[in-house]
Each structure stands twice: as structure tokens, then as C-alpha cells.
Amino acid sequence: MRIAIIGAGPGGLCMGKRLLDEGLSDFVVLEKSTGVGGTWNLNRYPGCECDVESALYSFSFEPKPDWSKPYATQPEILDYLRGVASKYGLLPHVRFGDGVRRAEWSEATSQWTLLLESGAREIADVVVSAIGMFNEPVWPEIEGLDAFEGALFHSAAWRPDHDLADRRVAVIGSAASAVQLVPEVRKRARQVHLFQRTANWILPKEDTPYTEAQLETFRRDPTVVAARRAAVEAFLEDFITFKNQEKVEASRRAAIRNLEVVKDPVVREKLRPTHAYGCKRGLLSNDFYPAFNERNLELVTEPIDRIEETAIVTRDGRRREVDTIVLATGFEATRFLSAIDVVGRGGRAIEDAWKDGAEAYLGITTSGFPNLFMLYGPNTNNGSILLMIEAQVEHVIAHLQRLVREGLAWSDVRPEAMARYNEEVQRGIAAIGVWQAGCNGYYRSASGRVVTQWPFTMAEFQQRTARLDPTDFEVAARA
């Protein structure tokens, strides 16, 4: 059984490791960049770090006892993922610099043909997509953006060769990436203008670097790290469904206290969110708000009218001269696998199948696309994604075991099973009031349906993915 994995991020690495555990060594990992790590390889902007404690944002099969601080930075996470790839013998299976442009199912051969960016083709019996949610950066539609003569780049394609010293920098966007990079950019640039459309809830975090004595304790006694992992998981389980209103309210109050550090009352009010806490992704930072007490950081809430060769002009007519623009405008989070041209049974494109928004059974399989599995697929985002990915990988392994055990050519989730499951998920989403508050976030597709979020606990997702009900799948015997 030939298996193709798309992407060498955390999902692709976890999938490859488990395939080797099962003795399924005939697989290739197709990675469009030049290194492993996925989002942690591509996002290298200053200040980039995880917003889930690393005790839980790490694989259960590869605990790391010596993270430098509770919330690890991008270089440290990337180094961890590189270590996983090396330790578990995954690098010989990875083909770098050759992303997938198209995947097409053949009903005659019961195989997938992958057309690669190099022009080569890869034939596979099974395809596992590990491209996740955050793989396609959003470029905003602003008049004159193409006319700008200075340095222009997205936060997901940071230019380390561009020296920010003495620069006049505009950062467009004020969500997760901006909250992390703005305090660091401000330290280097002459002037920074942050263009904010919507203020966000930003919590403080306990992130004091560990002392050498603490690290030595972690290395010597693995139960300490395991206990911290369990504590972080328990906290998130009691929080991510927004049922514990006492905990939600405590977080909201903590975010308000965090904001009070901003000295200028006008700026402080502009940074105060107007939507319900939890309506959008909550952010964490101890550095963002204090940065506004420095003279070289300006908050701009007036909408951008246009961009000129050397300036940004807002709707009030004010013109700000800049020589660098950083787009912290996020990703096309609702596209998932439709970021690639995928054609399934009967010549149906996945983009057509998902015209009302992406959907999949357990976020892993979508009807009409046999032997195609997704990691970090629709409605699987909540808590620690690495914990969720491990559950998804185990479910894929169960499918592969069944294909081998029963001599099957393919397996495809039945449309009624997928519909039944997604109706239940959407009912769960509808029950979370803050997700219905209508704020401008990335959770919803163009149709208005929430396609990114998992509305229940991580434990429930693990329980559901641990079961494989054969009646939910149509199968065909191998000829």
C-alpha cells in the first residue's frame, strides 16, 4: 500500500511516525518548503511563539523536559519538530521543495494521482493531507497595494534580510501574529504604525523562563512534566467549551486588567474589545499593551483608504509615510484541503463538494473522496492541536489496518453518516453562545457556517476517533 502524506508539519510527522510503527514503510511525505515543521518552519517573524503551554503542545510519545519557558518560542518548537523527524527516521521519506498542485482519484485503478509543483506525478493508494488550516496567507484587497515601492511582505513569509533599524514600518492587522511581532518590531524600528480593524481580547500569561534548577528537576523526574501536562489539559478541558462561566468571566476580567497598563486613555479605549469574550480566538501577551506606552508605536483605527508608492492614506485623508509594510492579515483558515485542486469520485471537485463550507466525518474523511484522510481538518480546532492530531492519526491508522485486514481497495464515508455527524457538531456549535455573537473572525465560511471549531472537549474527540464503525463507510474489495 503506497501512501502519500501532504505536508511535513506536526501532522505529517506524527502520521509518518505511526506508519513506521505499524510496519507501513512505503510512504512519501511531500513538502513544498525546504524543511520540516509546517507553520513553525514558515512563520519566523520576531516574537513568534505558541499560545498553548508546551507541556501539552508536544507529542505524547516525545515529551520534552527542558522547554526554556512555559510557552515555547518558534525556534525552540521548530528544533523540537526537527528532532522528532530525525529521531524517528522520517527524513528519508520526505521530499522537500515539491508541493502538491492537484490530486485526482481514478475509479479504474482505485488510486490517487498527485500532480506536483515540479511537474512530476506521484501515484498513491492512500493520501493523507496534513496541510491543516494555516497554510494559505491572506493578502488584503487594498487599493494601491501593488504600487507600494518599499518592502512589502506577509508575516508568514518574514524577510530576515530586511533590516528594520531606523525604518518606518506599517503593520496591517492586529490579531495573533501582530500581537506577537509588534512589540519586537517596535524595539528595532524608528516608527511603527499598527492598523487595527478590530480590537482583541488579550490575556496575560505566566511565562517566566525556567531556572536551571527547575530544568534539572524536569530532566531528572519525568513525573513532574507529566503532571504539568495533565494540569494544562484539565484546565483547557474545563474552558474550551465555554460552559464554565466562572472561569470565562475570570479570564475576561484578567484581560481587562491586562489592558489597564496602557497609559493613554484614548489609546486604551481603542484597544478595548467590543465583542463578547470568546467570540474570536483569545490571545496571550505580556508585551503588547506595554508597547503602546512607547513613543514610536501608533495605533491607527481609521480605515485604510489606499496605499501609495511611499505612504498609507486613511479614510480621514491623513497620509503616513512608510518604507516597510508587514501584512499580519492571517490565513485562509476555512479552505483546508480545498487549497489544492482535489477531484474525487465521478470527477467531483472538493471545492464543489464544500461550496457551503468544508465538512468531514470526524474532520478526517469527506464523502466522495475515497482513501483520502485529513489531519487538522474541518471542525477539529480547539485546545491543543497536537493532542487532537494524535487522535486523528490513530483513526487513520485504524482505517489502514482495515484496508489491509479485509483486502479492501478503498473506503469512503457514506454521505448520510457524514451529514448526521456534522449536524451534531453544528448543534454543539450553536449551543456556544459566544460563537454566535457575529464578530469578525476566521471561524466561519462564506456561507456563515462555523467550519473550524470543535465544540466539545478534547477527551470526547479522542473517544469518538477511537471508534471505527464499519457501517458508516462504503468499501470495495481489492481486485
Q: Are residues 446 and 473 in the same domain?
A: yes
Last residue of a domain, one of 327, 355, 372: 327
**Pair 133, 338: CB distance under 8 Å:** no
**Pair 412, 368: CB distance under 8 Å:** yes
Residue 441 reports pLDDT greater than 90: no
Q: Are residues 182 and 316 in the same domain?
A: yes
Q: Are residues 16 and 125 in the same domain?
A: yes
Last residue of a domain, one of 303, 327, 351: 327
- The mean of the pLDDT values for the chain is 96
Residue 216 forms part of a structural domain:
no
**Pair 305, 318: CB distance under 8 Å:** no
Domain hosting 421: range is: 3-136+332-477
Model pLDDT for residues 220-231, shown as the tens digit of each residue:
999 999 999 999
Judging by beta carbons within 10 Å of its beta carbon (0-12, 13-18, 19+), is residue 147 exposed, middle or buried?
exposed
Model pLDDT for residues 387-434, shown as the tens digit of each residue:
999 999 999 999 999 999 999 999 999 999 999 999 999 999 999 999
**Pair 399, 373: CB distance under 8 Å:** yes
CA atoms in the 13 A half-sphere facing the CB of 248: 15
Rg of the chain over all Cα atoms, to the nearest angstrom: 23
Residue 228 forms part of a structural domain:
no
Residue 440 reports pLDDT greater than 80: no
pTM above 0.85, yes or no: yes
Residue 133 reports pLDDT greater than 90: no
Q: Are residues 194 and 309 in the same domain?
A: yes
**Per-residue confidence band for 339, with pLDDT thresholds at 50, 70 and 90:** confident
Q: Are residues 268 and 396 in the same domain?
A: no
Q: Are residues 151 and 300 in the same domain?
A: yes
Q: Provide the pairing of β-strand 191-195 with 297-300.
A: parallel
Q: Are residues 355 and 446 in the same domain?
A: yes
Q: In sequence order, which residues have a C-beta less than 8 Å from that of residue 37 and are 6 or more positions away?
A: 8, 9, 10, 77, 78, 81, 82
Q: Are residues 152 and 107 in the same domain?
A: no
Q: Are residues 25 and 68 in the same domain?
A: yes
| Per-position b or e across 298-329, b if 16+ CB within 10 A of its CB | ebbeeebbebeeebbbbeeeeebebbbbbbbb
Residue 458 forms part of a structural domain:
yes
Domains: count for the chain: 2
Here the CATH number for the domain that contains residue 379 is 3.50.50.60
Residue 314 forms part of a structural domain:
yes
Q: Are residues 284 and 405 in the same domain?
A: no
